[in-house]
Amino acid sequence: MDIFIKAVQLILSLSILVILHEFGHFFFARLFKIRVEKFYLFFDPWFSLFKFKKGETEYGVGWLPLGGYVKISGMIDESMDKEAMAQPAQPWEFRSKPAWQRLLVMVGGVVVNFITALFIFWMILFKWGESYIPVETAKYGLYYHEIGHEIGLQDGDIVLKVDDFDVESSSDIARLILIEKGKILTVKRGEEIISVSIPESYDQTFLRNEVKDFAGIRTPVVVAEVVKNSNASEAGLLIGDSIVSINDKSTAFFNEFTEEMQNQKSNDIDLGIYRNGQPMTIHAQVTENGTLGFDASGATGYAEIKMHKYGLWEAFPIGVKMGFDTLINYIKQMRLIFTKEGAKQVGGFGAMGKLFPANWSWLIFWSNTALISVILAFMNILPIPALDGGHVLFLLYEIVTGRKPGDKFMEYAQVTGMILLLGLLLFANGNDIFKLFSK
């Protein structure tokens, strides 16, 4: 069921973005009176799942969920319709239009994808606002991944700066180390301020260990709600109980507790708890997922939670900034793909599916959709034949030189680009399959 919910979210997200991307091409093509023969979600080799024709355009849904396309008359694209290209150019065809109009048709998809991302960020801020926990307010400090311990960080430390960048929330630390290539951490340990050096190639250590959460807020394990008929309920856990140990092993903080629970899947355990200030031990059965069936109180009472609510127009400039920041950060981290460990982390649909949670959350759904929209915009504008960016590159060459690349050259470039993209697709999804079976 978890996989199904993730898959539905991924397919819905990609379908929205693909339709909007192709609409960008469609809009400018029709604006300049260029005939659009097909508008498809997903690809339709041999047959389609659904189609209808309105005017000159056939609309449909293909069976191969690898994107979508619009077939524009008089354009060398993935259809490789050589017969049509051998005929004399017609006024309604792409190749008959001025270069600047053809350029707008080609960038239309990328522009719509990026505008979509900005719009979603704007609406997220208007609907849900922003919230984060300033690290300096964390009563018990932060906890760190084991690779953080390897460079000298201790649970309870608070990272205040990465080089000269101030750390606001715990999520900033990994971002500043990876994207801004941070070298020195300024750390508050008790009442002392110390420096922790970041080794060379630490980004490769991040990637090799597939670190998802480098740092987080440390909070005690205090029961806020007990699920009815759960193992926690049967064990006698009550709201307000503070769990401090599992089988006499100290688990005073939530990160320690969840880690040890994963080691105790399906086992009987002794929970050391404090109830109304009195220590006691209760017996419990851990589920096969490593849970008991209760919600903890989170950071409430142990850190200051900053919440910003925005009006409709107040959220607009902040949403735009969020969109541009997302794009810039993505471009900066692209360098990691060209490293040994980075190449191993390149993923396909499986990796994208992991972005979405097993429980439906509209906030997370739209946040991930905005992120993927930014990624699609950037990837499509890369100067690779068969992508929008490849066509843009050749059009810019034509505008600058006044000479149009020959049809044969465009055919060869299109085939080369398609082979390159197919290879990348196989490599990325092959990585997903390899990881699945290696685990």
pLDDT of residue 23: 95
Q: What is the C-alpha to C-alpha distance for residues 100 and 387, in angstroms, rounded to an integer?
A: 18
Checking if the pLDDT of 28 tops 90, the result is yes
Which amino acid would we find at residue 346?
V
pLDDT of residue 439: 60
Tell me yes or no: is domain 221-296 CATH 2.30.42.10: yes
- At 83, the pLDDT band (50, 70, 90 cuts) reads low
Specify the pTM.
Answer: 0.86
Q: What is the C-alpha to C-alpha distance for residues 431 and 172, in angstroms, rounded to an integer?
A: 28
pLDDT of residue 1: 64
**End-to-end Cα distance, the chain:** 20
pLDDT of residue 76: 67
- At 195, the pLDDT band (50, 70, 90 cuts) reads very high
Identify each DSSP E strand in 163-235 by its residue range.
165-166, 184-189, 192-197, 215-217, 221-226
- Locate the domains of the chain by residue range: 2-125+368-438, 135-217, 221-296
Chain mean pLDDT for the chain: 88
Question: Phi and psi dihedrals of 211, rounded to 5?
Answer: -70, 120
Q: What is the C-alpha to C-alpha distance for residues 178 and 199, in angstroms, rounded to an integer?
A: 12
Instruction: Let me know if the fold of 135-217 is the same as that of 221-296.
Output: yes
Q: Kindly state the average pLDDT of the residues 285-293.
A: 90
Which position has the higher pLDDT, 413 or 296?
296
Instruction: Please name the CATH architecture into which domain 135-217 falls.
Output: Roll (2.30)
pLDDT of residue 323: 95
Q: Kindly state the average pLDDT of the residues 47-61.
A: 90
pLDDT of residue 427: 73
